[in-house]
């Protein structure tokens, strides 16, 4: 039996089946490629779902983690430590926010952001009836709070009742947002670029108008940059593309480039009027090990001008996707997204899941998103040559599918 199959069988025997996994066992990675347990090589265009911004074993990254393991992996948040001091500064400077809280995941960053918004409103009027407006087709995570603001019936329905006080509006439809605003609204939460929902960037006019509504009514704008943040859009945070600042920003995925870490950061107004000691906490969140990774990521992003590389190379991906669409006019209906967070929307008749599986056979890791979308979230260090390689494989796949 192949090593892949051995691992698959053992996993399926003991691990709860909550994923329909691709039929390979990933063994190791190098640069923008990974190898499975039988030694087959793959070009990686999904990067651990937008996590591996720097690819695998980027020079300097492993060393920073190894150095930290020799000092201390974990301490409690009851103590100060250098990685926290540095990471907090790094995130505040990068986001333009004032204070940050580190978590273990994206969902936990959302939980913290929601609690922050509730506390902010509570301190203003002492009431417990505050509402949050979220967007349809959004994705904010699987914990109950995060799921409550995730506008996807398929994810939500089996787990109801969820957190109350959530209203949904139509993304990029300002009137739909206005309809949901009332005196109890404490926050509007949305992704700057919707990821899981099918790669839909916010319309500039929409996000600016949402910001205006929030300013007028002292509603907090929470922008979820867990997927689109950390340079993926061609700007360190996607809201910078719009000239809009949130009151609270959430991040995770590429923040640690492979270690489990997330964060929410808040502006000064929120920092001074929300969570205080006793309100929130986490045992592991932001421990020295993961924050050593975060600091290495910020350091390596700067030294290697990773965002500059995205700005230089992403137009080539855009052009390649547009050319692909022109070559397959029946199958591909639209290209969406910016930078290295892009998607190709396929016609209903084309099974995007099957495209991913066939691409895997041909040595390309790529994943889908909602609305029959093929999702392109490669490592940010990807080159034009590797983009050509991926598009070549996808051409073959489409030919085979007829």
Please give the residue ranges that form the binding site for ligand PLP (CB under 6 A): 105-107, 110, 139-141, 191, 195-196, 224, 226-227, 252-253
**Smallest gap, in angstroms, from Cβ of residue 272 to ligand PLP?**
26
Q: By the 8 A CB rule, do 190 and 168 touch?
A: no
Q: Among residues 4 and 235, whose Cβ is nearest to ligand PLP? A: 235
Q: Among residues 107 and 244, whose Cβ is nearest to ligand PLP? A: 107
Q: Among residues 320 and 370, whose Cβ is nearest to ligand PLP? A: 370
Burial of 160: CB neighbours in 10 Å, binned 0-12, 13-18, 19+:
exposed
Strand partners, 168: 134
CA dist., res. 238 & res. 76, Å (int) = 32
Q: Which residue is nearest to ligand PLP (CB)?
A: 106
**Smallest gap, in angstroms, from Cβ of residue 259 to ligand PLP?**
12
Contacts 24+ apart (CB under 8 A), 201-208: 201/238, 201/336, 201/337, 201/338, 202/171, 202/172, 202/242, 203/172, 204/242, 205/174, 206/171, 206/172, 206/173, 206/174, 207/239, 207/242, 207/244, 208/242, 208/243, 208/244
**Smallest gap, in angstroms, from Cβ of residue 195 to ligand PLP?**
4
Q: Among residues 44 and 191, whose Cβ is nearest to ligand PLP? A: 191
**Smallest gap, in angstroms, from Cβ of residue 372 to ligand PLP?**
18
Q: Among residues 140 and 335, whose Cβ is nearest to ligand PLP? A: 140
**Smallest gap, in angstroms, from Cβ of residue 177 to ligand PLP?**
18
Q: Among residues 116 and 227, whose Cβ is nearest to ligand PLP? A: 227
| Residues contacting 134, CB < 8 A, separation 6+ | 140, 148, 149, 150, 151, 166, 167, 168, 169, 188, 189, 190
**Smallest gap, in angstroms, from Cβ of residue 107 to ligand PLP?**
3
């Amino acid at each position: 039996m192949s090593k892949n199959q051995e691992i698959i069988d053992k996993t399926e025997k003991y691990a709860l089946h909550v994923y329909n996994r691709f039929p390979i066992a990933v063994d190791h990675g190098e640069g923008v490629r990974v190898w499975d347990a039988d030694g087959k090589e793959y070009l990686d265009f999904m990067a651990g779902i937008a996590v591996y911004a720097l690819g695998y074993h980027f020079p300097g990254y492993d060393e920073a983690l190894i150095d930290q393991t020799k000092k201390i992996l974990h301490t409690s948040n009851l103590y100060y430590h250098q990685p926290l001091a540095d990471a907090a500064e790094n995130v505040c400077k990068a986001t333009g926010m004032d204070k940050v809280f580190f978590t273990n995941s994206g969902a936990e960053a959302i939980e913290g952001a929601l609690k922050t918004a509730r506390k902010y409103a509570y301190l203003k009027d002492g009431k417990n009836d505050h509402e949050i407006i979220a967007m349809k087709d959004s994705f904010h995570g699987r914990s109950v709070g995060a799921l409550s603001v995730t506008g996807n019936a398929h994810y939500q329905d089996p787990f109801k009742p969820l957190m109350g006080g959530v209203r949904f509006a139509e993304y990029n439809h300002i009137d739909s947002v206005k309809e949901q605003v009332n005196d109890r609204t404490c926050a509007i939460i949305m992704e700057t670029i919707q990821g899981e929902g099918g790669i839909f960037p916010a319309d500039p006019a929409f996000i600016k108008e949402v910001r205006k509504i929030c300013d007028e009514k002292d509603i907090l704008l929470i922008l979820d940059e867990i997927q689109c943040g950390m340079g993926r859009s061609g700007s360190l945070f996607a809201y910078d593309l719009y000239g809009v600042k949130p009151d609270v920003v959430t991040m995770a995925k590429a923040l640690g480039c492979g270690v489990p870490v997330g964060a929410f950061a808040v502006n000064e107004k929120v920092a001074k009027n929300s969570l205080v000691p006793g309100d929130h906490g986490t045992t592991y969140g932001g421990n020295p090990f993961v924050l050593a990774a975060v600091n290495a990521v910020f350091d390596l992003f700067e030294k290697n001008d990773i965002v500059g590389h995205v700005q230089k190379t992403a137009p080539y991906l855009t052009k390649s996707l547009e050319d692909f669409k022109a070559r397959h006019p029946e199958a591909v209906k639209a290209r969406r997204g910016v930078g290295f967070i892009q998607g190709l929307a396929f016609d209903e008749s084309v099974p995007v899941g099957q495209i991913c599986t066939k691409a895997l056979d041909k040595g390309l890791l790529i994943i889908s998103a909602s609305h029959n979308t093929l999702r392109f979230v490669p490592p940010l260090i990807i080159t034009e040559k590797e983009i050509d390689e991926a598009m070549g494989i996808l051409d073959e796949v489409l030919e085979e599918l007829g």
